[in-house]
Amino acid sequence: MEQKPDQNTKRVNPNRKWYIMLLLACLAILSRYILFKHQMRYYKHHLLTDFKKYSLKEGLANANFHPFYNIRLFSSNLVSEQFYVVNIWGNILGFVPIGFLIPLALPYFRNVFSVTFLVFLLSLGYETTQLIFGLGIFDVDDLILNTTGGFAGFLLYAIVRLIFKPREKLTQG
């Protein structure tokens, strides 16, 4: 006698481990470009000398807490087109794969609000790490752009899922 699977049992995606590995690889790449932009000897020097002099107060003084301030600045003719592309599009495109992979790797994050919020928290984590350790400048515009990228990634996931949604077989009756 063949046993029927329990209807309460959810099917586990055999590719999930690959999605998790891809997500972790994307996070490692993002960490490299957000937190560790320089060569390792820079960080050795930073941690041994500069960090001792660094204060959170200094980081807060340099931070941008005004939404869209840097976005408007980068969109003006005051900065080069290359600087604009790297800062605006880099912040958006860097998080598109994250928004796409989160619902594949973590099935309980399969709605737009949870994915967008998770991407926002991830971005906030990067910005806060930069602020605390003096590895960069906290910028609220980065939060906006990164979250936008994660949102776009989720939309791409939703579109792909609609296109390639497994069709249920029609039974003749």
Residue 83 lies in a domain: yes
Average pLDDT over residues 88-115: 96
Residue 140 lies in a domain: yes
Q: What is this structure's pTM?
A: 0.85
Write out pLDDT tens, residues 111-154. 999 999 999 999 999 999 999 999 999 999 999 999 999 999 99
Higher pLDDT, 173 or 43: 43
Q: What is the DSSP letter of 164?
A: S
Contact present, 150 and 96 (Cβ < 8 Å): yes
Q: What is the DSSP letter of 139?
A: B
Residue 62 lies in a domain: yes
Residue 110 lies in a domain: yes
Number of domains in the chain: 1
Write out pLDDT tens, residues 24-75. 999 999 999 999 988 888 888 887 888 888 899 999 999 999 999 999 988 8
Residue 169 lies in a domain: no
Residue 89 lies in a domain: yes
Residue 168 lies in a domain: no
Residue 5 lies in a domain: no
Distance CA 79, CA 132 (A): 27
Residue 125 belongs to what domain range? 16-163
